[in-house]
A = this chain, B = another copy of it.
Amino acid sequence: MTRGFYIGRFQPFHNGHLSMVEQIAGEVDELVLGIGSAGDSHSTRNPFTAGERIMMITKCLVGYDLVTYAVPIEDLERNSVWVSHVQSMSPDFDIAYSNNPLVIQLFDEAGVEVRQSPMFNREVLEGSEVRERMIDGGDWERLVPAETIEVIEEIGGIERIQMVSESDANGA
Contacts and interface: CB of A to CB of B under 8 A. Distances in A.
Main SS class of interface, A:
helix
6 contacts: A40-B78, A42-B102, A51-B90, A51-B92, A54-B90, A80-B87
A135 B42 CA distance: 32
Contacts of A76: 81
Copies of the chain in the assembly: 6
Contact of A51 (B81, B87, B101, B167): B87
B105 A42 contact: yes
A46 B159 CA distance: 30
A104 B163 contact: yes
Contacts of A54: 69, 71, 90-91
